Amino acid sequence: MNKREEERLRKKEEKHRKELERLEVMSAYEKEYAQYTHICGIDEVGRGPLAGPVVACAVVLPKDVTILYLNDSKKLSEKKRELLYDEIMEKAVAVGIGAVGPARIDEINILQATYEAMRMAIEDLTGKLGKKPDLLLNDAVTIPEVDIPQVPIIKGDAKSISIAAASIVAKVTRDHLMIEYDQVLPGYDFAKNKGYGTKAHIAGLKELGATPIHRKTFITHFVYDKDEDKICL
């Protein structure tokens, strides 16, 4: 091995060491509550888009799991999220998904819809786990109508490996769904914007009007009939 190869190997090993140290820090909450057998991380994605559901995920990871580069989904590239999604699904003890659609979001508001999606994710996970998780680590919120101990953590998707895993699975699940919607509802660029209010999306709204997956309460500034003084849906 020449000096260049030795240096390359040294840098690779150093990078790996630092990543393990970072994950150790991100495991602090899981270690603090290690007396609980099944610790469940919960996060959601899709509170802000003009179209599509809000999706929540609940994940229970093994106690001794190592998933390199696990992090807040927003800090990861699409390619990295996809790779981590596969690894999480392979290694997780159980994963639950909950989704609440546009009509329900319009009916009860996005915050309540988010809570509902989280409760659905917990119920889905419980069915797969065979029992309720012992503790919930939540990204920032305390979920109402849940009889499981909860720990809300501000910016939890960057501070807990369980919440980070949930954020990645929720994001990838919703992204895949919006790509499918793009195939049946062309003209809004859903595959790229995932329902968020980009220029292409707003242009599509103004030209084509709203679709069944648009949130009526979110698009009042973009779809409007001046003659009839009402939202065009």
In 62-99, which positions are buried (b, 16+ CB within 10 angstroms) versus exposed (e)?
A: eeebebeebbbbeebeeeebeebbebbeeebbbbbbbb
Residue 91 sits at the vertex; the CA angle it makes with 85 and 93, to the nearest 5 degrees, is 110
pLDDT at 52: 98
**What is the mean predicted confidence (pLDDT) over 176-195?**
98
Domains of the chain, first to last: 3-231 (3.30.420.10)
Distances from the Cα of 187 to the Cαs of 195, 196, 209, 227, in angstroms? 12, 14, 10, 25
CA distance 58 to 51: 23
In whole angstroms, what separates CA 102 from the centre of its chain? 17
Interval 37-50: pLDDT, tens? 999 999 999 999 99
8 Å CB contact between 98 and 124: yes
The whole-number pLDDT of residue 5 equals: 82
138-171 pLDDT per residue, tens: 999 999 999 999 999 999 999 999 999 999 999 9
CB 225 within 8 A of CB 217: no
Residue 224 has pLDDT above 90, yes or no: no
Q: Model-level pTM? A: 0.92
